[in-house]
C-alpha cells in the first residue's frame, strides 16, 4: 500500500483527480479553484489597514485558507512521510542542462545544492530565493492568478485570459529550462 502512495501516479490518474477538483468545488459550494488569492486573504486578516485592496470581508473566504492549509498538510505527508524512494523523473535533456550547471543530485523534490540547509545561508542562494519569490508573486498578481487558477479553473470555464496566461506560463517554463536556469545556475553555484 505504501508503494502506491509513495510512487508518482501516472498522468492519467493524477490529472483527472486534479481536474475533478473544479467541479467538486463548484458543486459543493460554488467556489472557484485557485491558490494565489489566499495570500490576499491572509494579508487582509493579519494586517487590517485602509488599503482598499485589503478592505473586504475576508471571513467569507475562510474556506480558501482551510483549503491551502490542507494542501500544506498534504504536501508534508506526501513529501516527508510518504517520500518517493526513487530519484525524480526528469527529462534527459533537462538533466544534462542541470548537470552542466552543477546540479547532479535528483534524490529529493528540490536539489540539495540549491535548497540544502548549508547552501541557504549563502548570499547567492538568498538572493536567488528572494528574487525568484518576488518574480513569482509579481507574475501571479500581474496575470490575475496562479497557474492552477488559470490552467485548471480558467480553462475549464473557457476563459480567454486564462488560455493566454497558460500559454505564457508554458512558454516561460520552456524558455527558463533552456536559457534562464543554466545562466542562473552559473551565478548561484
Q: What's the CA gap between 187 and 177, in Å, rounded?
A: 15
Give the number of other CB atoms < 10 A from CB of residue 37: 17
Identify the pLDDT of residue 151: 84
Identify the pLDDT of residue 45: 86
Q: Interhelix angle for 37-46 vs 62-76, to 10°? A: 110
Identify the pLDDT of residue 107: 76
Which value, to the nearest 10 degrees, does the dihedral of the CA atoms of residues 137, 143, 145, 146 take? -60
Non-local (6+) Cβ contacts of 39 within 8 A are 137
DSSP structural state of residue 176: I
Task: Answer whether 165's CB lies under 8 Å from 150's CB.
Answer: yes
- The percent of residues in the chain predicted with pLDDT above 70, rounded, is 96
Identify the pLDDT of residue 188: 66
DSSP structural state of residue 89: -
Which value, to the nearest 10 degrees, does the dihedral of the CA atoms of residues 4, 5, 7, 8 take? 110
State the DSSP string of 95-162. HHHHHHTT----SSSS-HHHHSHHHHTSHHHHHHHHHHHHHHHHHHHHHTS-HHIIIIIIHHTT-HHH
For the chain, what is the mean pLDDT? 82
pTM of the model: 0.69
Contacts 24+ apart (CB under 8 A), 88-96: 89/8, 94/177
Domains of the chain, residue spans:
1-86, 87-189
Q: Comparing 9 with 167, which gets the higher pLDDT?
A: 167
C-alpha cell at 3: 508503494
Amino acid at each position: 500500500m505504501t508503494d502506491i502512495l509513495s510512487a508518482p501516479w501516472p498522468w492519467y490518474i493524477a490529472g483527472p483527480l486534479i481536474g475533478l477538483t473544479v467541479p467538486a468545488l463548484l458543486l459543493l459550494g460554488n467556489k472557484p479553484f485557485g491558490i494565489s488569492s489566499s495570500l490576499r486573504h491572509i494579508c487582509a486578516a493579519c494586517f487590517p489597514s485602509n488599503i482598499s485592496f485589503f478592505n473586504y470581508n475576508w471571513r467569507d473566504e475562510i474556506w480558501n485558507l482551510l483549503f491551502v492549509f490542507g494542501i500544506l498538510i498534504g504536501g508534508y505527508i506526501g513529501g516527508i512521510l510518504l517520500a518517493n524512494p526513487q530519484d525524480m523523473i526528469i527529462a534527459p535533456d533537462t538533466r544534462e542542462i542541470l548537470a552542466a550547471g552543477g546540479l547532479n543530485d535528483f534524490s529529493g523534490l528540490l536539489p540539495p545544492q540549491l535548497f540544502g540547509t548549508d547552501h541557504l545561508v549563502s548570499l547567492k542562494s538568498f538572493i536567488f530565493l528572494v528574487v525568484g519569490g518576488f518574480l513569482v508573486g509579481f507574475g501571479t498578481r500581474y496575470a490575475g492568478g496562479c497557474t492552477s487558477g488559470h490552467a485548471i479553473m480558467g480553462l475549464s470555464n473557457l476563459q480567454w485570459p486564462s488560455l493566454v496566461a497558460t500559454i505564457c506560463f508554458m512558454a516561460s517554463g520552456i524558455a527558463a529550462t533552456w536559457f534562464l536556469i543554466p545562466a542562473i545556475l552559473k551565478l548561484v553555484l
